Amino acid sequence: MYTLSVDIGGTFTDVVVFDEAKGRTVVGKALTTPGDLRKGVMTGLEQAADDMDMPLQKLLGEAHRFVHATTQSSNAIFAFAGAKTAVVTTRGFGDTLTIMRATGRVAGLSVFERYHYRATEKPRLLADERDIFEVTERMDYAGRGITRLDEKEMRDIARKIKAQGYQAVAVAFLFSHKSDAHEKRAREILREEMPGVYVTISSEVAPVLGEYERSATTLFNAYVGPVIESYLEGMVSTLGQNGLKCKPLIAQANGGLATPAQTIPIFTVESGPAAGVVGSAYLANQLGVPNVIATDVGGTTFKVAIIEGGKWTYSKETILNQYQLRLPMIDVVSIGAGGGSIAWVDNGRLRIGPMSASSDPGPACYGFGSDRPTVTDADLVLGHLSADKFLGGRMKLDVDAASAAIHKHIAVPLFNGDVIAAAAGIRRVVDSQMADLIRKTTLQRGHDPRAFALMAYGGSGPVHAASYGADLGMSEIIIPFNASVHSAYGSAQSDVRFSLRYSDPLTLPVEPAKLESLYTPMETSGDKLLLDADVAPADRRFERWVEARYRRQVHTVRVRVPGRLDSVARVDEIAVAFEAEYERLFGPGSALKDAGIEMVDYGVDAIGIVQKPSAARQTGGSSTAPRLRRQAYCPVVDAMVDTPIYDGAGLPAGATVSGPAMIEHPGTTIVLHTGHKARIDEFGNTRIVSGH
């Protein structure tokens, strides 16, 4: 019995095999192959099979679960490689997707980027006026028809779209979330006129109030739809040919899984980072540390997610290429700060980013010709990375080049030529910016970071976590076992999950039956989806939520809704929960009760609990001696100090390591400062606390 998990990232395709009989995990890591992602997947799987001394056919044949997170939709979006897409809208409102509520000029940009008006612009449009067709039809705010869909006009538009060679069509009418009749009829006509062309309607993809976001979500779904459909078909058939017998499950942005047929294409976007959060939540629950801030430091971005009471939260809005989308997506906040961020001097100030060295030429230490110093160069100069262990030793880092870059651009102008002081400064500034993002993210969500443990993964997370964690005064830092394949690990811990949504602004008090009537259809749909995903009735769960606000406010707060709203008292519970959550977020006294509470969006998460591979206990190695010792910087004493370097695989469960020290793992290094104490727990995770 094996569970296989495959996560395709920008650089690497990670494979994790859970061998439940033997209680072990096997990891495969291959280079991602952007042309045909299947190649990298098969290479990674073969690596894992080789490690297990069995043919791939056998490994796949004996897998009872196969989960897969892919970047295919992100690739299509960021490379503008999606389908040629047409949009059909309500007459009079065809410019919704080009006006972009004006916010499209700056959506997703940092404050500093927004300051530079001249350099801001709307994104390259996925559909402009030439691709957008207006049709006569109109619904009112309550979903009552004002003007019927003009079917003849619709048919003419369908023929025009066909003649112009569009590969996908998005239909997004006003108030279609209240009544989908016109959109469905438009889809029928489109399908009659142009069979085989991908058609998607907004009332199915994002049935929520707000036409711009709903239309944008639908546009993106159409844009990636044909790409994802053919990708999934190809993947399923390749896996089948190689012996896979179970139905593969696809990771979604909501942290859940769905079958390929059930996958709404755009819902797979950013599913890798979402899976990382699921893995963190799973680990948090397993370790009995329910409040965790999950952080992922990669080459160009720093990502933060909050897990409270063992649960993650969802974001209300997703920004892709400056478009604002409404997707069921785990709330992950990100800034452009990572190993590749470039350090520079600005009128005596030491600045880091927002420019970033991409992989080519990359940081100076890659030796590909760049002389701009990056965070990774500083890490190397400070002794926090081993020059010969990068990418598992496949690439040797050039310490001299890193040092020269820092000397020229930072040390000479700001630090009297002291390269170590300059490198330490770079680290300090970037660590502090990461701490600021964590603090802002947690405070904005009504939490105190000190009440959380920090979890850090991704290639650079363990290198920096001790610094930004200390800055925040957090109680404990957890570096997960297999921190560099954490998303693949997380996918395997995911349940089947469908997020159903509906909008209908209603002010409390509301008749219980009325409210119940909003939830029942969502649960019925969810139940059907779970059935289709082969989830047994006993394993089906339904979680209800509502997003509410004080009357006439814009921002909503999400609260859980008790199941079965069969009495006034149960409806009252919603008001109580809302007010408590509101005051938690905005402080005591911030509630304005006389304004009334308005419920806006309703949702049901239909969950199919799956049996997860139990985390294997790790015995680890038996060597507690350092692999070597070298000089490395410790910020606590502000000096290079003699530092032992341990081989992570060699440390047995229960081993403790005191800082200053470093523990090397494939793909990352855990850095401990003076006063930090690390303990390897029975699952192989590294737990760091202050020694005081």
Q: What residues from 195 to 254 belong to the interface with another protein (CB under 8 A)?
A: 209-213
Read off the tokens for 269: 């976007």
141 interacts with another protein by CB under 8 A:
yes
Q: Which of residues 664-683 bind another protein (CB under 8 A)?
A: 675-676
133 interacts with another protein by CB under 8 A:
no
320 vs 73: CA distance, rounded Å: 11
Nearer to another protein, 50 or 204 (CB): 204
594 interacts with another protein by CB under 8 A:
yes
Q: Give the pairing type, strands 249-251 and 496-507.
A: unpaired
Half-sphere exposure (Cβ direction) of 580: Cα atoms closer than 13 Å:
8
Nearer to another protein, 394 or 552 (CB): 552
Backbone angles phi, psi at 32, to 5 degrees: -70, 140
161 interacts with another protein by CB under 8 A:
no
* Residue 104 Cβ vs another protein, minimum distance, rounded to whole Å: 8
* Residue 548 Cβ vs another protein, minimum distance, rounded to whole Å: 14
111 interacts with another protein by CB under 8 A:
yes
Nearer to another protein, 250 or 472 (CB): 472
669 vs 579: CA distance, rounded Å: 44
Nearer to another protein, 68 or 384 (CB): 384
Binding residue for another protein (CB under 8 A) from 38, 84, 105, 558?
105
Helix axes 151-163, 181-193, angle to 10 degrees: 40
* Residue 679 Cβ vs another protein, minimum distance, rounded to whole Å: 14
261 interacts with another protein by CB under 8 A:
no
Rounding to the nearest 10 degrees, give the CA dihedral for residues 69, 442, 299, 385: -120
* Residue 554 Cβ vs another protein, minimum distance, rounded to whole Å: 4
Residue type, 598: E
Residue type, 95: D
469 interacts with another protein by CB under 8 A:
yes
* Residue 681 Cβ vs another protein, minimum distance, rounded to whole Å: 18
The sign of the dihedral angle between the CA atoms of 304, 462, 110, 357 is negative
138 interacts with another protein by CB under 8 A:
yes
Q: Give the pairing type, strands 85-90 and 132-135.
A: parallel
Instruction: Single out the segment in contact with another protein by CB under 8 A; choices: 143-151, 188-196, 526-534, 648-656.
Output: 143-151
Helix axes 211-241, 37-51, angle to 10 degrees: 50
505 interacts with another protein by CB under 8 A:
yes
689 interacts with another protein by CB under 8 A:
yes
* Residue 639 Cβ vs another protein, minimum distance, rounded to whole Å: 13
Binding residue for another protein (CB under 8 A) from 45, 474, 530, 535?
474
552 interacts with another protein by CB under 8 A:
yes
Q: Which of residues 561-590 bind another protein (CB under 8 A)?
A: 585-587, 589-590
116 interacts with another protein by CB under 8 A:
yes
Binding residue for another protein (CB under 8 A) from 439, 541, 570, 679?
439
CA angle (468, 469, 473) in 5-degree steps: 120
The string of DSSP codes covering 180-223 is -HHHHHHHHHHHHHSTTSEEEEHHHH--SS-HHHHHHHHHHHHH
Q: Which of residues 398-417 bind another protein (CB under 8 A)?
A: 414-415
155 interacts with another protein by CB under 8 A:
no
Nearer to another protein, 506 or 653 (CB): 506
350 interacts with another protein by CB under 8 A:
yes
Backbone angles phi, psi at 103, to 5 degrees: -65, -20
Alpha carbon 472 to its chain centroid, in Å, reads 23
102 interacts with another protein by CB under 8 A:
yes
Q: H or E stretch including 628?
A: strand 628-634
* Residue 588 Cβ vs another protein, minimum distance, rounded to whole Å: 9
Nearer to another protein, 81 or 443 (CB): 443
Nearer to another protein, 129 or 400 (CB): 129
Nearer to another protein, 94 or 299 (CB): 94
Binding residue for another protein (CB under 8 A) from 20, 50, 371, 436?
436
26 vs 52: CA distance, rounded Å: 8
Binding residue for another protein (CB under 8 A) from 288, 309, 348, 537?
348
* Residue 474 Cβ vs another protein, minimum distance, rounded to whole Å: 7
Instruction: Single out the segment in contact with another protein by CB under 8 A; choices: 18-26, 98-106, 489-497, 520-528.
Output: 98-106
Q: Which of residues 610-649 bind another protein (CB under 8 A)?
A: 635-636
Q: How many CB atoms lie within 10 A of CB 106?
A: 16
Contacting residues for 7 by C-beta, under 8 A, at least 6 apart: 13, 14, 68, 69, 251, 272, 275, 485, 487, 488, 491
The sign of the dihedral angle between the CA atoms of 93, 97, 98, 100 is positive
Instruction: Single out the segment in contact with another protein by CB under 8 A; choices: 54-62, 225-233, 467-475, 625-633.
Output: 467-475
ω into residue 652 within 30 of 0, thus cis? no
507: three-class secondary structure by DSSP: strand
Residue type, 23: G
Query: How far is the CA of 565 from the CAs of 96, 498, 519, 572, 573, in angstroms?
Result: 37, 21, 9, 10, 10
Binding residue for another protein (CB under 8 A) from 94, 363, 459, 644?
94
* Residue 207 Cβ vs another protein, minimum distance, rounded to whole Å: 12
343: three-class secondary structure by DSSP: strand
* Residue 268 Cβ vs another protein, minimum distance, rounded to whole Å: 26
Q: Give the pairing type, strands 63-69 and 249-251.
A: parallel
Binding residue for another protein (CB under 8 A) from 103, 167, 179, 242?
103
Instruction: Single out the segment in contact with another protein by CB under 8 A; choices: 85-93, 220-228, 258-266, 353-361.
Output: 85-93
160 interacts with another protein by CB under 8 A:
no
219 vs 127: CA distance, rounded Å: 8
554 interacts with another protein by CB under 8 A:
yes
Contacting residues for 99 by C-beta, under 8 A, at least 6 apart: 212
Read off the tokens for 229: 């459909």
